[in-house]
Amino acid sequence: MKILAGSTNQAFARNLANRLQIPMISREIVTFADGETRVRIGDSVQDEQVIFVQSLAGLVNDYLIETLLLIDALKDHGVKEVIGVFPYLAYARQNKAHRPGEGVSAQTVAKLLEQVGVSKLITYDIHALNALSYFSIPTINTSVLPVLMQKLIVHVGDEQRNSLVVVAPDQDGTKRAKDAADKLGLPHAFVEKERDLETVDTLKEIHGQKVVGEVAGKIAILADDIISTGNTLVQAGRHLKETGVEKVYAAVTHGLFSKGFDNLVKQKDIEKIYISDSVYHPNLPPQIEVVSTIDTAASILQQNVG
Ligand code: R5P
């Protein structure tokens, strides 16, 4: 078994290779002046099982093409099987047509990855489970929120455990937050949020948010799958403080930071934000801490890949 890393999260791939004690495959990835990508596999992969690691974040469309080119090159060079480890899998938020005529892009991505030759897919905290229903290959979706929350509990101190409450920043994330809370034996609540499906703006900022569940006087852990612009967290953090929460922390699996960190760094309501290593960021402000999930990925692979 060998590991091939795409461009986006080479640190994750290297850490996984070290943890599993398997070699990395050398490869070249070049972008031509016209924007085309050229790839080359540098080692023999004949009859090998290859774990391909890529997080589809940042220049997501470029990295999607790079992914397809690398996997196709592996197939051309006689690979036995490609196991796709996509700690962050893009397009899962486009998992259904919200309005007539809209494309179901999660389905398109599933078709592409499957057609090119991924035979098993592993990911973390997929935005919507039905995004995986478009695959006919086996898929494994694991929540790493409990791993992030364990780290947070160490930070606040075990004696504060009885004051903790896990809060989903919108009603759609309630199940994800509840599952993580249940795993750690913590209570849960959620903030109501609505999005305008045309502008994707949060409507509740205009109409006022509401917390469902007991939070006053507690230490809240906002639990979510994605930080994109950061607006959801900022608004929920502000609202929780206004509702009488003593302290607010956040545990979010994927730090996309689509518009940088500005609004998260400027806000004062959330003390600290724990994110996973699913998306690589070389420089983060001190309020944002990355938690390694390599043990989780390694154990999924050890249990599911023979
Ligand atoms: C939305 O339903 C997701 O679970 C996240 O809450 C959302 O993607 C976060 O986006 P932003 O950081 O732009 O508010």
Q: Does 229 contact ligand 1 (Cβ within 6 A)?
A: yes
Q: What is the DSSP letter of 195?
A: B
Q: What is the DSSP letter of 192?
A: -
Which of 226, 264, 279, when mutated, tests ligand 1's pocket best, judged by the most ligand atoms within 8 Å of its CB? 226
The single-letter code of the amino acid at 256 is: L
Q: Does 226 contact ligand 1 (Cβ within 6 A)?
A: yes
Q: What is the dihedral of CA 253, 254, 258, 260, to 10 degrees?
A: 60
Residue 202 predicted with pLDDT over 60: no
51-66: pLDDT as tens digits? 999 999 999 999 999 9
273 forms beta bridges with 250, 288
84-98: pLDDT as tens digits? 999 999 999 999 998
Average pLDDT over residues 102-125: 98
Query: Catalytic residues, which ones?
Result: 193
188 forms beta bridges with 166
CA distances from 126 to 32, 49, 78, 94, 187 (A): 33, 25, 31, 12, 23
3-state SS assignment for residue 284: coil
Cβ 4 vs Cβ 25: under 8 Å: yes
CA of 131 to the centre of ligand 1 (A): 16
Angle made by CA atoms 44, 47, 51, in degrees to the nearest 5: 80
- Return the percent helix, strand and coil in the chain, to nearest 5: 35, 25, 40
Q: How would you list the strands of the sheet with 270-276, edge to edge?
A: 211-212, 188-191, 164-168, 219-227, 247-255, 270-276, 288-291
C-alpha to C-alpha distance for 295 and 168, rounded to whole angstroms: 25
pLDDT score for 209? 74
Confidence at 192, pLDDT banded by 50, 70, 90: confident
CB neighbours of residue 144 within 10 Å: 24
Q: Whose C-alpha lies nearest to ligand 1, atom 1?
A: 226
Q: Does 117 contact ligand 1 (Cβ within 6 A)?
A: no
Can you point out the beta strands (E) in the chain? Answer: 2-5, 27-31, 37-41, 49-53, 81-86, 118-124, 139-142, 164-168, 188-191, 211-212, 219-227, 247-255, 270-276, 288-291
Q: Does 231 contact ligand 1 (Cβ within 6 A)?
A: yes
CA of 79 to the centre of ligand 1 (A): 37
CB neighbours of residue 191 within 10 Å: 27
Residue 110 predicted with pLDDT over 70: yes
Q: How many helices (H) and strands (E) does the chain have?
A: 9, 14
pLDDT above 70 as % of the chain: 95
Q: Does 270 contact ligand 1 (Cβ within 6 A)?
A: no
Confidence at 254, pLDDT banded by 50, 70, 90: very high
Residue 272 has, within 13 A of its CA and on its CB side, a CA count of: 14
Confidence at 306, pLDDT banded by 50, 70, 90: confident
pTM higher than the cut 0.75:
yes
CA of 42 to the centre of ligand 1 (A): 39
C-alpha to C-alpha distance for 160 and 31, rounded to whole angstroms: 51
CA of 226 to the centre of ligand 1 (A): 5
Q: Does 173 contact ligand 1 (Cβ within 6 A)?
A: yes
